[in-house]
Amino acid sequence: MDRTTRRRLERLGLALTGLLAVAMLAFLALEWLREYPYAGTLYDQFTTAGMWADYYLGTSVFGYSFMLRSIAAGVLVGIAAPLVGTYLVHREMALIGETLAHTAFAGVAIGLLFSATTDWDGSLLVTALVVAILGALLVQYLAERTNAYGDVPIAIMLTGSFAVGTLIISYGRGGFSGVSIDDYLFGSAAVIPAEGARLVAILTVAVVAVVALTYKQLLFITFDEQAARVARLNVTWYNTLLIVMTAVVVVGAMQILGVILVAAMLVIPVAAASQIARGFRETLALSILFGQGAVLGGFAFAISQGLPPGGSIVVVAIGIYLLAILASSRSGSAISIH
């Protein structure tokens, strides 16, 4: 395939992804505002369109707002996660996502404890987000102190926060009611509450905006941190920004993929894209397209087989990765990312 065709196809893919994302954002916004006159009518039209889609496709998916909500959250995570993941993978920080997911799990546990012992009845996702961001800042602090993203501080953070989470949950067993920890560990399409999907929507828009604004700086510190320091970029600030964005994406993605699988969305589409992309901009574009392919393919597989979406998305993503390796070795320009 020549360069122009390839670029055109990528643009087309990105445009379709953008349209899909806008439609999903619109759905979530309408669901939120459906009490209001015009929004209510539009929201009804959305669900009617979903029912027609079900009728023509012979499915029973799109007519249910909770399914649409899950798919919307998946589509948005499928954009934000590979976007942030592209920088993480090439900074060799692939496991940061996994670590912060475990920190977020501790956040869920702390939220449960908090709501069981006080009058507070906010969302557990809020405590997960707060604790994950604090965890991100702590990892960043440790990395600055030890002068590298060594895997030792990461392993300590990962296991340590999970240990705290399990202790709190064991301590409160019987006291915490109405929450399935399994849903947080393994993810679930059915569990995503409206507020969870709205959180994903807001976080995705924020992450896309921040990356669009700081694309150049993040690229420079990823490619050559020392030269970026000499060019007087505030490397510590951009590193902190990147890791906080990771925490934010992880909390969004955790609802669908579960704590244990969340890193997959940050890493696998990027690994696949890096196999065949010719430059960084193309890597970003392909990561998003592959992430989107994994989410949509994973949902289709999960729904048709009655399986959980988390595992399905990851398996489809790995399928894409293997195809990318095949494609790159065929074109004779195989470049291992290690």
Partner 1 sequence: MTAIVEMENVTFAYGETVAVRDVSLTIEAGDFLGLVGPNGSGKTTLLHLMLGLHSPDDGRIELFGQPVEAFDRGERIGYVSQKATSRGGTMPVTVREAVTMGRFARAGYSRLTDDDRAIVDDALETVGITDLAERRINELSGGQRQRAYIARALASEADLLALDEPTVGVDAESRDAFYKLLDSLNDDGITIVLIEHDIGVVTDRADRIACINTELFHHGDTESFVESDALEQAYGTTGQVVHHHH
Residues contributing to the site for partner 1 (CB under 8 A): 3, 90-91, 213-214, 216-217, 219-220, 222-227, 229-233, 273-274, 277-283, 333, 335, 337-338
Q: Do residues 123 and 253 make contact, with C-beta atoms less than 8 angstroms apart?
A: no
The nearest distance, CB 209 to partner 1, in angstroms, is 12
Tally the residues of the chain: 338
Please name the residues in contact with 155: beta carbons below 8 A apart, sequence gap of 6 or more. none
The three-state secondary structure class of 260 is coil
Nearer to partner 1, 149 or 184 (CB): 149
Backbone angles phi, psi at 231, to 5 degrees: -75, 5
Residue listed under structure tokens 């012992």: 117
Nearer to partner 1, 144 or 195 (CB): 144
The nearest distance, CB 107 to partner 1, in angstroms, is 32
Nearer to partner 1, 94 or 189 (CB): 94
Q: Report the run of H or E that residue 179 belongs to, with start and end.
A: none
Which residue in 159, 139, 161 sits closest to 150, CA to CA?
139
The nearest distance, CB 324 to partner 1, in angstroms, is 12
The nearest distance, CB 238 to partner 1, in angstroms, is 11
Nearer to partner 1, 46 or 220 (CB): 220
Q: Do residues 309 and 70 make contact, with C-beta atoms less than 8 angstroms apart?
A: yes
The nearest distance, CB 184 to partner 1, in angstroms, is 34
CB-neighbour burial class of residue 235 (10 A; exposed 0-12, middle 13-18, buried 19+): middle
Nearer to partner 1, 194 or 209 (CB): 209
The three-state secondary structure class of 234 is coil
Nearer to partner 1, 173 or 216 (CB): 216
The nearest distance, CB 220 to partner 1, in angstroms, is 5
Nearer to partner 1, 134 or 327 (CB): 327
The nearest distance, CB 222 to partner 1, in angstroms, is 7
Cβ-defined contacts of 48-55 (< 8 Å, 24+): none
| CA atoms of 66 and 232, how far apart (whole Å) | 48
Backbone angles phi, psi at 145, to 5 degrees: -65, -40
